[in-house]
Structure 1
Amino acid sequence: MKKRTFVGALFAMGAAAALSFTSSASAAGDWPQENITLVVPYAAGGTTDILSRRVADLLQGELGKPVVVENRPGAGSTVATAQLTRARDPNYRILMASPGHTIGAAIYPGLRYDPVNDFRFIRNVINIPNVLVVPANSPFNSVADVVKAAREKDGMAFSSSGVGSSIHMSGELFKSMIHGKMVHVPFRGSGEALPALISGDVDLSFENLPSVLPSIKGGQLKALAVTTAHPSPYLPGVPTIADAGKDLGLADYQTSAWFGLIANKKMSDEAVTKLQAALNKVMASDAFKQFLPQIGAEPATEQGEAFKEFVAKDVKKWAAVAEEAGIRRN
């Protein structure tokens, strides 16, 4: 009797193990089974937030599960990024990264994560140019005018939305490449920086396109060049800094405000593959294409390893600029 009981117990245990294995295999092949959290490492209302909410809406239609946006601002995006590396369930938490990811690595000492090797890079979603702009009544009408003044004039000021922003670092890169004497004047956001620029309190800025496009169209600001490798379709006739300054030390100048999805390095291959496929469908949709002009954006192309390589190059670029300019944040 005892032998039968023992054999029966073994059979039951084997059946339970087989059922458990089958259930686990099924679960592994059925991602997503839970809600997905898309973290925005900035406060609500900015470009990152607006983009993330649109992507979340469209993604959940492809994935069949809610994609919930969560704002976690702090320390130039490094607070939310550090939390991503400690995600309890790495398959269900993603983050909308931007230049803050690579600039933060350059200017915040003692970060407890590697900006490249501690993450999986799903896909770069959009690129937005920064624009070299001056007040409408400025004597500067070209990149050449700005370079000449920046090399000769002491105290020439460029504004930004804050230390370590892509706007600030675009200016520092420009200054470094032309060996200029420009002085950085940081403000608490573009809401404060733009009025100072328009009034002429500062000489120029390298503002994000969405922030200055209304002022350019309204005649309050002049757009002299864009920071990207190619001209922007939203500013016809405005050259790139690289083209306009190719004989002035700026032939290799290039930067943009990029926005892409990243995840914890422990996210499964299945989750990454399905998320990439869903995001590709989102970006190919008419709804997404019609959204892009609202934020002056163009679709990006880098995915997976190509996106990782793009980020790694950005980290090195900003590390060199930050070191030369002596930029560090606590």
Structure 2
Amino acid sequence: MPPLLKLFSRLLIAGASLSLIAPAQAEWPSETVRLIVPYAPGGTTDVLSRKVADLLQQEIGTVVVENRPGAGSTMATAQLARGGRGADHTILMASPGHTIGPVLYKNLRYEPVKDFRFIRNIIEIPNVMTVPANSPYDSLGAFVEAAKTKELTFSSAGVGSSIHMSGELFKTMTGAKMTHVPFRGSGEALPALLSGDVDVSFENMPTVLAHIKSGKLRALAVTSKEPSPFLPGVGTVSQLGADQGLGEFVTTAWFGLIADDSMPDEAVTRLQTALEKVMADPGFLEFVAQVGGEPAAQAGDAFRDYVAEDVERWSAVAGQAQIEE
């Protein structure tokens, strides 16, 4: 075989070999996956993210958690939306701040729905309408009647939190006269509730569950659609408050993974498959029970639609309550 022809044959063989191994080399993820937590360490979002990361890396390889708090989660979310290097290997644990933030902060440079890929909702945790143990109100109905004539107060973990917005939704649906008392996180808000400095809070289940069971706080209702198995005997706001205009009152704190809209379909599918295994893991199910939550059901387009509906709801509430940062 002439030398030139022999060289050409070798190049063809080499090219064919490379084409065979290229798919394996390009399989996602090809580098470390970063899971962004848009809040400070220690909160529910952070603890959940680290649990998911530990289990997820058993399925896809190394997952590193990074905390990027600021502006009610919108700072980290804006960084994600800008894409850039590493965007196809970056995911973010979104929560109600993702749908409430754009309602409050009018100059955000991203759209909460169209600028992202919605991978999977992971867990939903109800809020609990909770009063101090020495409160004169022993039922939701009694509280509503009092709130229509008295200046009562409700606490929250900060303006725009799901706790705050649940209280505002309660006000708009009942005409209650309640003043919002914001704190810097549930860690500061809880003592005010325990001491009776505020009349009520719509706190996340993990924050108040132990105090309700110990008798230091009294649960009037849960905000989920169905009663919580973790608070037997406690009804829902929509059931107990149907005669007070609360028949459609349903709010939960949801937590799910999103990515920049540039993330390829292959990556989204791989993550969704891996998350199905994570959410079936006994360690994950034990964690869900510890925080009084339920595994979520929405993935892909269903998760996107769920978020879009949440944006519309909080936009309406914020408009009625005239809330804006």
Indicate how the Cα distance of structure 1 residues 6 and 315 shifts in structure 2: closer, same or farther if over 3 A, else same.
farther
Answer yes or no: is 1:135 the counterpart of 2:121: no
1:198 to 181, 194, 197: 194
Equivalent AA in structure 2 for residue 100 of structure 1: G
How far apart are the structure 2 equivalents of 1:24 and 1:103? 43
How far apart are the structure 1 equivalents of 2:317 and 2:182? 17
How far apart are the structure 2 equivalents of 1:99 and 1:147? 25
Answer yes or no: is 1:152 the counterpart of 2:170: no
Q: C-alpha deviations, 1:107-127, integer Å up to 9, x for none?
A: 111111110011111110001
Deviation of residue 284 (structure 1)? Answer: 0.8
How far apart are the structure 1 equivalents of 2:19 and 2:321? 57
Q: Which runs of 4+ in 1 moved over 6 A?
A: 4-20
How many pairs are equivalent?
Answer: 323
Per the alignment, residue 213 of structure 1 pairs with 209
1:87-98 alignment, distance < 5 Å: 87=83, 88-98=85-95
Bigger mean CA offset, 80-89 vs 8-17: 8-17
Per the alignment, residue 102 of structure 2 pairs with 105
How far apart are the structure 2 equivalents of 1:16 and 1:176? 70
Per the alignment, residue 115 of structure 2 pairs with 118
Answer yes or no: is 1:280 the counterpart of 2:285: no
Answer yes or no: is 1:254 the counterpart of 2:250: yes
Deviation of residue 96 (structure 1)? Answer: 0.4
Answer yes or no: is 1:49 the counterpart of 2:46: yes
Deviation of residue 55 (structure 1)? Answer: 0.4
Once superposed, what is the RMSD of the aligned Cα atoms?
2.0
How far apart are the structure 2 equivalents of 1:75 and 1:9? 62
Per the alignment, residue 310 of structure 1 pairs with 306
SS at match of 2:267: helix
TM, length-normalised to structure 1: 0.93
Deviation of residue 90 (structure 1)? Answer: 2.5
SS at match of 1:129: strand
Per the alignment, residue 160 of structure 2 pairs with 164
Answer yes or no: is 1:180 the counterpart of 2:176: yes
User: Identity of aligned pairs, percent?
Assistant: 60
SS at match of 1:49: helix
Per the alignment, residue 85 of structure 1 pairs with 81
SS at match of 1:309: helix
Answer yes or no: is 1:226 the counterpart of 2:217: no
1:40 to 37, 42, 52: 37
How far apart are the structure 2 equivalents of 1:8 and 1:173? 78
Indicate how the Cα distance of structure 1 residues 258 and 13 shifts in structure 2: closer, same or farther if over 3 A, else same.
same
Answer yes or no: is 1:236 the counterpart of 2:232: yes
Deviation of residue 13 (structure 1)? Answer: 8.3
Deviation of residue 10 (structure 1)? Answer: 8.4
How far apart are the structure 2 equivalents of 1:200 and 1:271? 49
Deviation of residue 25 (structure 1)? Answer: 3.9
Q: C-alpha deviations, 1:117-141, integer Å up to 9, x for none?
A: 1111111000111000001111111
Deviation of residue 24 (structure 1)? Answer: 4.7
SS at match of 1:131: strand
How far apart are the structure 2 equivalents of 1:253 and 1:6? 79
The answer for unaligned runs of 5 or more in structure 1 is none
TM, length-normalised to structure 2: 0.94
The answer for unaligned runs of 5 or more in structure 2 is none
SS at match of 2:148: helix
Per the alignment, residue 326 of structure 1 pairs with 322
Indicate how the Cα distance of structure 1 residues 13 and 51 shifts in structure 2: closer, same or farther if over 3 A, else same.
same
Indicate how the Cα distance of structure 1 residues 112 and 17 shifts in structure 2: closer, same or farther if over 3 A, else same.
farther
